[in-house]
Chains A and B, each alone.
Chain A
């Protein structure tokens, strides 16, 4: 078993134009910075990107948007990005907006082999359009289907050479479900350790889901809204 690659450039080998990618992160928290930078430097285009948010102008997925590499975004909230709004309103970019919980569960279902399931979120709204609805125990639900990707790109705090991953604080978010739902899953980690280092009781993503892992570098970890108080 040799999942370890040297860097993002090696990790993203095989990602081609028009593929569907999943990219972890919530806002800028927990985004796979190295892979995104590598993709932004490549000729890959026409991508469908499944990611909760679209980065900010010039950072995160904003880097791919700026170079017009994304054809379609599947997200739950895309507010912090002027370029995104511009491309959306002009029709250059196709966007599918999905309730965040439904998005997370569609991805989890993709990794878990569950093609369809029922949720209440969005019943009676435009989200319901075209979907079967059904009543369970007096409450209305709509049918949603799994989401899978050609490549899932996730960012973790620690990972080992078997692909086991541990996330930190709120940088987990969509990384954990996405790691299960890629045909190929790439993990970039802050700290790559030999197998046997991590406590098996404290693994978030068992290595079975991860195909390529590398030690990331130079994480900027930009903060969108640094908010402080005088005293605690």
Chain B
């Protein structure tokens, strides 16, 4: 049974370590915040100028001056800090963020990522994605293994405009956990009940499969 978006988020949450500073992109990545292990201290960074994103506010506590990078209203946790956009990206570009999680349209087997533009259809801009993928210490992509047309999103080469080159380290999809290595994609784990063959068929890029592939446990 392939993972749903919460299952993907839960699996990515297992990559967190106590004390990590983390940036979560919009979409599936934001759900990772719901699965931070009990007792683990994670600080979430919002690129528009906040360290210490808290839960969404209750209706009576809505503050128009307190939003995340997706323009949703949020709260700030005790120990939070506010700062300007230049300082925010100095934090990102200076390699101080431990983990970035973001979605993608395509990932190549050399770690390229295309996540921001579909020529002729979606040209909204890259926001902070290029900065994040160019400088985060660790980059995990959260996405479906195939697109709505059933085509693989794990490719030999990206066909869409790139967000970054050779930057992705790990991909968690509805079907599998896949790492990017010098020799291409490497299958690490498979979703419960999903076969290795199913994953091979859904992966267009080079995929190394070595030994017994364990199931994802969440």
Contact = CB atoms under 8 A, between A and B. Distances in A.
Given A223-B73, A230-B58, A120 B134 contact: yes
Given A169-B66, A227-B73, A177 B165 contact: no
A124 interface: yes
B84 A228 contact: no
Interface string B24-59: 000000000000000000000011111000111111
B135 A121 contact: yes
A102 interface: yes
A29 B65 contact: yes
B93 A229 contact: no
Interface string A99-140: 111101101100000000001111111110000000000000
Interface in A195-232: 204, 221-232
B6 interface: no
A204 B135 contact: no
A175 interface: yes
Contacts of A171: 65
A75 B88 CA distance: 17
* Chain B interface, >50% SS class: loop
A227 B126 contact: no
Contact of A77 (B72, B93, B126): B126
Interface in B122-165: 123-131, 134-135, 161-165
B70 interface: yes
Nearest to A176: B84
A105 B88 CA distance: 10
B86 interface: yes
Interface residues of A, number: 57
Nearest to B64: A221
B85 A173 contact: yes
Given A177-B84, A228-B57, A76 B70 contact: no
A225 B65 contact: no
B92 interface: yes
A123 B166 CA distance: 10
B118 interface: no
Interface of A: 26-30, 52, 75-80, 85, 88, 97, 99-102, 104-105, 107-108, 119-127, 157, 167-177, 204, 221-232
28 contacts: A26-B85, A27-B71, A28-B64, A76-B128, A78-B124, A79-B125, A99-B126, A100-B85, A100-B127, A100-B131, A102-B130, A104-B85, A104-B88, A119-B93, A120-B93, A122-B134, A125-B163, A126-B162, A127-B130, A167-B84, A170-B65, A173-B84, A176-B86, A204-B84, A221-B64, A227-B74, A232-B55, A232-B58
